[in-house]
Amino acid sequence: MNRQLLADAAATLAGAGVASPRRDAELLLAHVLGVELGRLVLADAANAQQRERFAELVARREQREPLQHLTGVAWFRHVELAVGPGVFVPRPETELLAGWAIERAHTALAERGEVVVVDLCTGSGAIAKAVADEVPGARVHAVELDPSAHRWAERNLAGSGVQLRHGDMADAFTDLDGTVDVVVCNPPYIPLEAWESVAPEARDHDPHLALFSGDDGLVAMRILEERAALLLRPGGWVGAEHADAQGESAPAVFSRTGRWREVRDHDDLAGRARFLTARLGG
């Protein structure tokens, strides 16, 4: 019975253009049945109430409502996040940027015996929570401007030790200026003119404050460059995600100022330009 439910749901989602129809159907059914995905094949057949609930969720996913909004959960590296309307759903590719920040934090901790990490535009708190989880002893700070996203971050970062603030990254953490080892940021970076090309899951459900950043998509990146230069100690590092079409233009925001060295770009697992890193001179 469950096998046919999954087959029918996957066909429906495939017809709607969902990128991973079979897996989405499996995740939704596992959610409805209250079992882990790996144990779905062992689960009892869905009863009438569960089949009705599953059909409702499949219909919403068919309309391209994000899968994570339907289950209320997103996994990011080794941490679980609560997500829903009003907060940007963390993407798997951002885990690479978080991994880079975690490696840099471990290096600073080994060299200095302490480390300060700042996550700007934290959204759900994904990167900040991952750093706190994987670098015990790190002093992690995070900021989010959008009130709704900040409430999600409060929920996700409760008990993590991360110091969360509500505010604009442009003037966040002035009390930490010159003391930070790693600044990490997943800023908005989509050009306004690219509206139609954005996937419906993001365009219609993610906060626009987390998506769009001026005509060229680099307004937030320029603000980040200026703020990171003040926050970091000499030799400190900044890392920031960007669109795959910004593999040259985003790093240029840093390299053209003359403040930074070791400016380089990094690909994601699909070979697309994904995030930049730079080291403050001095």
Greater pLDDT, 62 or 117: 117
Q: Indicate the range of 57-71, 77-91, 104-118, 198-212 predicted with least confidence.
A: 198-212
Is the pLDDT reported for residue 167 higher than 60? Answer: yes
- The answer to the question of whether 187 is labelled as a binding residue is yes
Q: Where does the pLDDT of residue 200 fall: very low under 50, low under 70, confident under 90, or very high at 90 and above? A: low
Is the pLDDT reported for residue 1 higher than 50? Answer: yes
Q: Where does the pLDDT of residue 198 fall: very low under 50, low under 70, confident under 90, or very high at 90 and above? A: very low
Is the pLDDT reported for residue 59 higher than 50? Answer: yes
- The answer to the question of whether 189 is labelled as a binding residue is yes
pLDDT at 210: 47
Q: Tell me which residue range forms the domain holding 225.
A: 87-280
- The answer to the question of whether 111 is labelled as a binding residue is no
CATH code for the domain in which residue 15 is found: 1.10.8
pLDDT at 250: 92
For residue 68, is it within any domain? Answer: no
For residue 74, is it within any domain? Answer: no
Same-domain status, 92 and 147: yes
How many structural domains compose the chain?
2
Same-domain status, 21 and 149: no
Same-domain status, 139 and 21: no
For 9-43, how does the pLDDT look when each residue is reduced to its tens digit (9 = 90+)? 899 999 989 888 999 899 998 988 888 888 887 78
CATH code for the domain in which residue 110 is found: 3.40.50.150
For 220-237, how does the pLDDT look when each residue is reduced to its tens digit (9 = 90+)? 899 999 999 999 999 999
Task: Supply the pTM of this predicted model.
Answer: 0.85
Report the b/e string of 116-146 with b at 16+ CB within 10 A.
Answer: bbbbbbbbbbbbbbbbbbbbeebbbbbbbbb
- The answer to the question of whether 92 is labelled as a binding residue is no
